[in-house]
Structure 1
């Protein structure tokens, strides 16, 4: 059985130019009809064309498919296994993105319904690296490499703000900024503490969704920012006879415009203990 190029194109739902391109790439060959010189394709060509279409769905590039034309069975198995590993990595990444989207939606919904309403809860443990402490930016090459790993390689990275307990006790209120991932995700990427990566443990905390204008945040007045974001937490600490027991951390939730101002919502967590 011989097929014209238009028949093969219709079967594959592609243009005749695509069929010619596949032929030029070596997926199959055609014979010429001696009566009119039209390209004609046999059953093997149909199989090769449809198989190429299927393998493209698997994610194989045209270059990979061209090389696979002469593969042995063992080489085909290896190529399929390599592609399956790529797909598994992609699926894992998409699952992380899906999980992050769900978390973001929950936090944004919380922001609209429970701002300035503090509550007690064990905070989620985090691994984090700071890119700034007050006006000081990270300059060490190794530190910058680690920060890039957080941004580009680690799943579900979160932007954080942090004030160290010792600075709060000394009323110096230095605002630090950085990147963080949850503890269980850090284990998946073998992220551990070092000179530039720190661990924020799960601990009893007072948490509160707060908001601040980005103008106030950008001014960098640590004292103003601290009192703006922690006033509700400090009040409940006073009411419950609690004391600060570690660094205060804030996870950036989302930006939005309110009354002509750009506002940033932040989930604040302050570790506490009883006096």
Structure 2
């Protein structure tokens, strides 16, 4: 299946100027053009665009993404480099998720604490509960 720039932008939730920018920056390469100059995007372009967006959201610069695309065009000789890139990025994202889960646990606990305070009309916490909370924080179990 092939897509016009507008169709692809809508389906991928990306602006058409962003698609043009990616092409200008050499991130989307070898885009097919009709005789009238209009861009036509293939399934291969969709897959590459998805990868670009993923890497961008994973914190990679456009320059580093361009390097990855260069490696893709090299073929098999750069597979080890690409593998290592994705291993590193996966580890980084898994750490970010773990950090966010700890933050979310604290937010949930605080929200519940204040909800109970609103329901009871009291803002109290006993020393035993405070001790359990402190231990949970230290043990990353909150």
TM-score tier by shorter-chain length is: 0.5 to 0.7
Helix, strand or coil at the partner of 1:97: helix
Cα deviations across residues 69-110 of structure 1 (Å, max 9, x unaligned)? 123222222222222222222222222222212332343355
**Structure with max Cα Rg:** 1
Normalising by structure 2, we get a TM-score of: 0.63
Q: Map residues 125-274 of structure 1 onto 2, 5 A cutoff.
A: 182-186=134-138
Task: Specify the alignment match of 2:31 in structure 1.
Answer: 30
Greater RCO (Cα-Cα under 8 Å, separation 6 or more): 1
Bigger proportion of residues as helix = 2
Work out which of the residue numbers 83, 88, 91 in structure 1 matches 2:94. 88
CA RMSD of aligned residues (A): 3.7
Task: Specify the alignment match of 1:45 in structure 2.
Answer: 45
CA distance in structure 2 between the partners assigned to 1:2 and 1:114 by the alignment: 62
Are 1:15 and 2:15 an aligned pair? yes
Cα 1:87/1:3, change in 2 over 3 Å: closer
Cα 1:122/1:184, change in 2 over 3 Å: closer
CA distance in structure 1 between the partners assigned to 2:59 and 2:126 by the alignment: 48
Task: Specify the alignment match of 2:79 in structure 1.
Answer: 73
Unaligned runs of 5+ residues in structure 2 are 72-77
Cα 1:44/1:96, change in 2 over 3 Å: closer
Aligned length: 132
8 A contact 2:117–2:123 mirrored in 1: no
Give the Å deviation of 1:120. Answer: 7.6
Helix, strand or coil at the partner of 2:70: coil
CA distance in structure 2 between the partners assigned to 1:29 and 1:65 by the alignment: 16
Give the Å deviation of 1:43. Answer: 4.7
Q: Which runs of 4+ in 1 moved over 6 A?
A: 116-120
8 A contact 2:117–2:124 mirrored in 1: no
Cα 1:110/1:61, change in 2 over 3 Å: same
Cα deviations across residues 122-154 of structure 1 (Å, max 9, x unaligned)? 75179xxxxxxxxxxxxxxxxxxxxxxxxxxxx
Unaligned runs of 5+ residues in structure 1 are 127-181, 189-275
Task: Specify the alignment match of 1:135 in structure 2.
Answer: none
